[in-house]
Amino acid sequence: MSNTPSSWQAKIGNTNRSSERLARGTHAAVDSERRFSEARTDRVGGASDASARRGNTLLSPTRIVFVWLLLGAHVAHAVQRYELRNSVPGRATASLWVAPAASDESLHMSVTLRLRQTDGLAALIAAQQDPQSPDYHRWLTPDEFAARFAPAVEDYRAVADWLQHEGFTLRPMVSTARIEFSGTVRDVEQTFSVHMNHYSHRGHMPLANEEPPQLPAEFAGTVDFVRLNTFPLAEPLVRLSTSTGTVTAMAPSDMYTAYDMQPVVARSDFNVSDITTFQQQFSVAVRSPVKVFPSTNPGVGAPNGACQGIRNQREYRDCLQAEEGEVLLDAQWASAMAPGATVLVDISGADIDASLLDIVAHHPEAKIITMSFGACERLDSSDINVFGPMYAQAAAQGQAIMVSTGDDGADGCQDGRGRSVNVLASDANVTAVGGTALDPGFGANGAATAYVSERVWNDADGASGGGASTLVVKPAYQAAPGVPADGFRDQPDVSLLASPSSPGYVMVMEGSVAVAGGTSASAPSWAGIAAVLNDVVGTSGPWNATLYALARQQYGGDGPAVFHDVTTGDNSFNRVSGYVAAPGYDLATGLGSPDVAALVNALAATTGTSTPTPTPTSAPSSPSPSATPFADVCVGDCSGSGEVTVEELVSMVNIALGTGELSSCPAGDRNHDGSVTIDEIVIAVNNALSSCPA
């Protein structure tokens, strides 16, 4: 055995329980043969002392062959398998163990395959944000992304064939980067050499593997992550106000005034009537959302999805309310902040990763994506492996993703044991959105009058999530006055109103007006703002590079003030010391909240350079702006000069947001319906970039 390769020795020394059982079986076989040999020697009285010694202490040829075969099987097992140590959920170690799983229980699982040419992908994403690059704003289609960066089809098939051979049932392929499959606990334990247990977690008893799964060595360069557990990937972050007294809340028109002024990832169905009531009651352009179900419909409140299996009735009701409230808040405020836009709501019957995968694979036209869910980086670090490839694909396709930073301040794990952040917002390819409490200068009539001030959201309902990641290195774009020199990705990037009570957001749920908040509200609201900005400057893709460039100008003293600099408050919460707001960037509110009109002005000033022709942020079913009976009107030419200027584009945006009068630019109302929509702004931008139709 002295010639055994060191890698074999290392693997033999680190085998899992299955290998240990095999080793114990080897020793048991040797012991059994020794007892047989000793008994035979006792029976043969004429045996010589030498023969007796051979029978008792020396290996006979038969025994040598038998033991060598077993030992060879042991070594072969160790050499041909490898462990995926990142695939044991941290939640399992932090949760109460309940019992071993029954062998006939079934579960849904997934394998994430490694993207190809990841360095080249990162370089492309950076080039797409560089105005000097020939790849600037040249977005890939899903087919182009698959051809250049997705795992090879033969690699997908090799893993898929192996899983089928082991008895698992595969779901239809959505992407070669992901294999969805299901099977029994017995199959999982035998195939991956793990023990499956039940744990107690927020009313659920999820299944999870106790040890790292083992896979055939041939997949070592292909498989990035295996998910063998049923812990939820994340939790909804919506905060419904529980106040029984008078509660101040912001209507859409108040937000337009205060801040001068896409698809939604969900796992609960909702009643469209609640969206319509919200839009009608609060004077938002009425446009029904488009629902998409990549698998099964989990029902309103997700009784057949995220909330299934909760036995405690109070926890079950809370789950239903949170899941339904989350999707309604996101859809209502994404539409409110982007008047006239169609909101696509992708609803998964499994978990939010399935919704996001469906969006990036099948809906590249959805250029702004919002996710209002949270997971603790310290305990849910493996979420990076699940979501990272999808975030990268979205970025390369020009899709911006807005993610809430969480509602528990610096205590992202909600356990009072130290600082952590929302792992879903840690990736460099997403915009992390924190929260503030806002003074909008309410007048005597109860309406907002102007932006007065903001502070870090931190009250009895929660606090703005923020801090430094421990998993993701600092991206090159994250540089501005105040950004810590910590070497890691910091969040949030930006902020917006999040407090449910200072003031909260109005919403409609089950036919009644409610008040809610949390970064669950600030993320979709920022997504709506980004949709408006996209329609001014063209599809920008991920927004972070642009936002930090503007911040460097503003906080460096030589650029316009496009952010409200929040310098009051901190995000210490639940006995965990947080971060204090300060001039410039800080780890409680990021770069600050937006002055939308100033952002529009700053961005519109560049539309005459390398900006490509913009595309509407809407679902495929929305009407095309070119198919119209009003083609003879030069949309956006407010002065009748025969051309569209930046100032006229800004006027149209102000009209759309409710802060300008239609009389200031009648030419912005192309179809004469008394309003200015995103489709009309898109046409005006086209006219500004080229020329008015003859």
**Does residue 370 sit within a domain?**
yes
User: What phi, psi does 403 have (nearest 5°)?
Assistant: -125, 135
What is the CATH number for 189?
Answer: 3.30.70
**Does residue 126 sit within a domain?**
no
Last residue of a domain, one of 189, 207, 227: 227
Range of the domain at 90: 85-115+150-227
Residues 386 and 311 in one domain: yes
| Chain centroid to CA 318 | 23
What was the pLDDT predicted at 239?
Answer: 62
The answer to whether 421 and 471 have CB atoms below 8 angstroms apart is: no
Residues 458 and 335 in one domain: yes
Q: Rounded to the nearest 5 degrees, what angle is found at the Cα of 620, between the Cα atoms of 302 and 272?
A: 35
Residues 437 and 565 in one domain: yes
What is the CATH number for 661?
Answer: 1.10.1330
Residues 162 and 266 in one domain: no
User: What phi, psi does 471 have (nearest 5°)?
Assistant: -115, -30
The answer to whether 515 and 592 have CB atoms below 8 angstroms apart is: no
The answer to whether 665 and 649 have CB atoms below 8 angstroms apart is: no
Residues 211 and 327 in one domain: no
**Three-state DSSP class for 454?**
strand
Residues 435 and 577 in one domain: yes
Maximum Cα–Cα distance across the chain: 123
What is the token pair recorded at 88? Answer: 């044991």
The CA distance from 346 to 394, in Å, is 15
**Does residue 134 sit within a domain?**
no
Q: Which residues of 630-640 are buried (b: 16+ CB within 10 A; e: fewer)?
A: eeebbbbbbee
What was the pLDDT predicted at 78?
Answer: 46
Nearest of 37, 84, 85 to residue 61 by alpha carbon? 37
| Bridge partners for 448 per DSSP | 442
Residues 253 and 286 in one domain: yes
DSSP string, 73-124: HHHHHHHHEEE-GGGS-HHHHHSEEEEEPPTT-EEEEEEEEPPS-HHHHHHH
**Does residue 123 sit within a domain?**
no
What was the pLDDT predicted at 471?
Answer: 94
**Does residue 1 sit within a domain?**
no
Residues 534 and 641 in one domain: no
The CA distance from 135 to 118, in Å, is 17
One-letter amino acid identity for 689? L
Residues 466 and 347 in one domain: yes
**Does residue 615 sit within a domain?**
no
The segments of the chain whose pLDDT lies below 50 read 1-79, 242-244, 246, 260-261, 608-632
Q: Rounded to the nearest 5 degrees, what angle is found at the Cα of 173, between the Cα atoms of 170 and 174?
A: 135
Residue-wise pLDDT tens digits, 282-300? 777 777 888 888 777 878 8
Residues 93 and 221 in one domain: yes
Give the pairing of strands 214-216 and 81-83: antiparallel
Residues 428 and 569 in one domain: yes
What is the CATH number for 405?
Answer: 3.40.50.200
What was the pLDDT predicted at 45?
Answer: 37
**Does residue 15 sit within a domain?**
yes
The CA distance from 211 to 17, in Å, is 9
CA distances from 580 to 4, 44, 402, 456 (A): 57, 87, 23, 9
Number of domains the chain contains = 4
Residues 382 and 406 in one domain: yes
User: What's the pTM?
Assistant: 0.73
**Does residue 121 sit within a domain?**
no
